[in-house]
Amino acid sequence: EPEVTQTPSHQVTQMGQEVILRCVPISNHLYFYWYRQILGQKVEFLVSFYNNEISEKSEIFDDQFSVERPDGSNFTLKIRSTKLEDSAMYFCASSLGQPNTEAFFGQGTRLTVV
Amino acid sequence: AQSVTQLGSHVSVSEGALVLLRCNYSSSVPPYLFWYVQYPNQGLQLLLKYTSAATLVKGINGFEAEFKKSETSFHLTKPSAHMSDAAEYFCAVSDRGSSNTGKLIFGQGTTLQVKP
């Protein structure tokens, strides 16, 4: 069964450092997403990506964040200068395209900023 | 802005008992509605979804949910809980409309505990 894969599963980084979270969406999917879940809080939308550009982003997704689909298979989330409050579980998701189709989620990357 | 409310952050039931997890949405136009489950150290898995067909939706693992427009609700039920149902459950919505990107708005989540 096709699945969304994320690497690494855990990432510890020092405050101010850049991190790149990687995702491989399901191959025939067209829409890609990043969500985050701060410990004990709800899952929050960060950004959606379609046709090689951002289609929507939340207020959380400020200039410190960027996304890229560099090679047609990987989908990355970069945080340029991490803050303590960026510590969270980050989920990548992908879907075929229509809003009512299922979004498939990866297992997440737990980012800890120290 | 669209919002989702899940009443009860923790629900505890005995094995074999009815499971009822509550979800209410805020928009006046019924959105697409989803229930996801998250087992420990795993990602989110779709249980079921409501788009615009039957108001009673059946999902995996014996779960079902009923869309009630008059109550703006989409509560999740299972007639008989199993120990393996212990997990975190998230209700989510996605707006209809041509500009929709498929973004999901999640509720706070409900932890289901199943006691032997």
| Mean pLDDT of the residues in chain B | 91
Q: In sequence order, which residues have a C-beta less than 8 Å from that of residue B99 and are 6 or more positions away?
A: none
- Residue B10 has a pLDDT of 96
- Among A5, A10, A43, A48, pick the best mutation site for testing chain B contact (most B Cβ within 10 A): A43
User: Is the model more confident about A1 or about A70?
Assistant: A70
Q: What is the pLDDT of residues B70-86, one digit of tens each?
A: 999 999 999 999 999 99
Q: Using the beta-carbon criterion (under 8 Å), do B108 and A4 form an inter-chain contact?
A: no
Is the pLDDT at A49 greater than 90? The verdict is yes
- Residue B95 has a pLDDT of 80
Can you tell me the mean pLDDT for B89-101?
82
Task: Write the DSSP string, B56-105.
Answer: EEE-GGG-EEEEEGGGTEEEEEESS--GGG-EEEEEEEE--STT-----E
User: Is the model more confident about A86 or about B53?
Assistant: A86
Q: What is the pLDDT of residues A74-85, one digit of tens each?
A: 999 999 999 999
Can you tell me the mean pLDDT for B43-62?
90
The band of B98, judged by pLDDT with boundaries at 50, 70 and 90, is low
Q: What share of chain A is helix, strand, coil (3-state, %, to 5)?
A: 5, 50, 45
Is the pLDDT at B51 greater than 80? The verdict is yes
H or E segment to which residue B114 belongs: strand B110-115
- Residue B99 has a pLDDT of 67
User: Which B residues 29-88 touch A at CB under 8 Å?
Assistant: 32, 34, 36, 41-46, 49, 51-52
* Residue B60, token pair as written in the block: 């995996």
Neighbours of A50 (CB within 10 A): 16
- Residue A101 has a pLDDT of 77
Spatial separation of the C-alpha atoms in residues A18 and B79, rounded to whole Å: 48
* Residue B50, token pair as written in the block: 């409501």
Nearest to A105 among B41, B43, B51 (CB): B43
- Residue B1 has a pLDDT of 73
CB-CB contact of B108 with B8 (8 Å): no
Q: What is the pLDDT of residues A88-101, one digit of tens each?
A: 999 999 998 766 67
Residues in chain A: 114
Nearest by Cα to B19 from B75, B59, B71, B91: B75
- Residue A1 has a pLDDT of 76
Please give the radius of gyration of chain A, using alpha carbons only, rounded to the nearest integer. Answer: 13
Nearest by Cα to A48 from A25, A27, A28, A71: A25
- Give yes or no for B108 touching A (CB within 8 A): yes
- Residue A99 has a pLDDT of 62
Nearest to A31 among B41, B102, B109 (CB): B102
Q: In sequence order, which residues have a C-beta less than 8 Å from that of residue A17 and are 6 or more positions away?
A: A81, A82
List of chain A residues whose C-beta atoms are within 8 Å of the C-beta of residue B100? 99
